[in-house]
Structure 1
Amino acid sequence: MKTIIQIISLLFLFSSLAQANVAQSPSVYEDNSGNIYIESPKQFVLIAGEINVPLHVYPTLGLLKLRYSNGQWTREVLSESQFRAIESQLQLSASLTERLRWQDIDGDGIRDYVLFTDASSYHDASLISIGT
């Protein structure tokens, strides 16, 4: 009986987390220098064993810094500690969040970031190709 309750509890936990993650999109921040920071939603990982260990971790390329220099965008992958160290200096940018789309722009099957000129536009101002 105890095992059945544990299984039902885990199924309930997984179903609620799956619904929550579907609706999440990346958060986009700016700093005073005009750099763009993208924070992807954390993913749920369960390490199963005698004692189950639930973790929330960033996906690969989950924390990025985009810098525009010499006419081109460059990408820097940040660790969680690097991002947390500068997070208080960043401003959440709703307009950038609305303009950022994930789609495969080069046909390689990997979603890329595309930054549009405005939230309703589908004519891109800048293509920022970053596999996610």
Structure 2
Amino acid sequence: MTLEATCCCKQISISLSGEPEMNSVCNCTNCKQRTGSAFGISTYFKTDAVLKKSGDTKIYKLWHKEQNHEQNRHFCTKCGTTLYWTISTLPHLIGVAGGCFAESEILEPTHTLNSSKKCNWVILPENWQVQG
């Protein structure tokens, strides 16, 4: 399977092969702010699954206090979409914003992260693995 994720204006993209290692809904404050939503969908692949990156991104680095790690987030300079990122504690993985796989069906998450920060009105499937 090959998946392609793009930003809103399609100026940047990332193509990946194979199945994701983890597909999660993250409820942390930072993901809420990153997406402007109640949670973020984070799809993680092994770094060697990256087939191609196109377009120029800017990177912003942040120290994620809740998770105690550094993130390098790649975003589009034209529309501002955060498309993918790396995390210092998971150097073998690359995270991709799940909603950016717009041309294919978004894969159903299997994990929920930081559930203590979940909005009370969000109901998650019971079969998802809970982490944090």
The TM-score with structure 2 as length reference comes to 0.24
Greater share of helix residues, 1 or 2?
1
The TM-score with structure 1 as length reference comes to 0.24
Greater share of strand residues, 1 or 2?
2
Quick check: which has more Rg, 1 or 2?
A: 1
